[in-house]
Amino acid sequence: MAIDRTPVMKRARSLGIEAAFTGSSKKSKKKPPMTRKKPSEYGLQLKEKQKAKFCYNVLEKQFRKYYDKASKMRTGTTGENLLMLLEMRLDNVVYRMGLARTRREARQLVSHKLITVSGKKVNIASYHTKPGDVIEVSQTRKESVRFQDILAATEGRRVEAWLDVDKNNLKGSIVTMPTRDQIDTPVNEMYIVELYSK
């Protein structure tokens, strides 16, 4: 399996993304590189795609599959459908529920079979969740120090209305599909659609 090992803070700076959107509490003292040259239309489109891939920790081949699936959906716009599909990934849902500090940590928790979906252990980070699914930390790990530390670190994080979370029991459920207004990822999805439509 291919893994992007680029340092998170370095990548975030180059894309102009605040570390908070990755779940990281680190703050960089360095400033993004200054560019005097005005970016081309293709450059803007490419940057938005790179932002989305970076935020959701997805590589090109898988990202393209999400786009193809989004473009074939009968309702909604392709760009909004793309973000909605990315939000419904299991690793992202675990992160959004506050059961992980970052999406990368959420991916690790899922791959180590520490998360169950409606009572079944799932170790695929890209698993597509759906409304009604109950996401929960495995019973054998609920008392572990790691999850107590995670709860302390994510205590003030806002939980979106499309999720119902019971942090005391380390579980939550998906109430409905997220809308564009409920997705705070700093990406202009229309640029991505324009890029792939060429």
Shared-domain flag, residues 190 and 142? no
Look at residue 147 and tell me if it is in a domain.
yes
- Tokens 């991916």 sit on residue: 107
Domain that holds residue 100: 89-176
- Specify the CATH number for the domain of residue 192: 1.10.1050.10
Shared-domain flag, residues 12 and 73? yes
Shared-domain flag, residues 41 and 59? yes
Q: Give the amino acid at 96.
A: R
Q: What local confidence, expressed as pLDDT, does residue 34 receive?
A: 60
Look at residue 112 and tell me if it is in a domain.
yes
Between these two residues, 91 and 30, which has the higher pLDDT value?
A: 91
Look at residue 2 and tell me if it is in a domain.
no
Q: Residue 105: helix, strand or coil by DSSP?
A: helix
Q: What local confidence, expressed as pLDDT, does residue 38 receive?
A: 83
Q: What local confidence, expressed as pLDDT, does residue 17 receive?
A: 75
Mean pLDDT for all residues in the chain: 89
Note the pLDDT tens digit of each residue in 124-158.
999 999 999 999 999 999 999 999 999 999 998 89
Shared-domain flag, residues 97 and 18? no
CA distances from 76 to 55, 56, 143 (A): 22, 21, 42
Cα separation of 52 and 63, whole Å? 9
Query: Which residues share a beta bridge with 171?
Result: 136, 166
Band the pLDDT of 39: cuts 50, 70, 90. Answer: confident
- Specify the CATH number for the domain of residue 104: 3.10.290.10
pTM: 0.86
What average pLDDT does the segment 14-22 reach?
66
Look at residue 35 and tell me if it is in a domain.
yes
Band the pLDDT of 71: cuts 50, 70, 90. Answer: very high
What average pLDDT does the segment 67-90 reach?
96
Q: How many CB atoms lie within 10 A of CB 168?
A: 7
Output DSSP code: residue 89: B
Q: How many CB atoms lie within 10 A of CB 90?
A: 23
Residue-wise over 150-161: b if at least 16 C-beta within 10 A, else e? beebbeeeeebe
Quote the tokens at residue 122.
């799932």
Number of residues that make up the chain: 198
- Tokens 């005097």 sit on residue: 36
Q: Is the model's pLDDT at 47 over the cut of 80?
A: yes
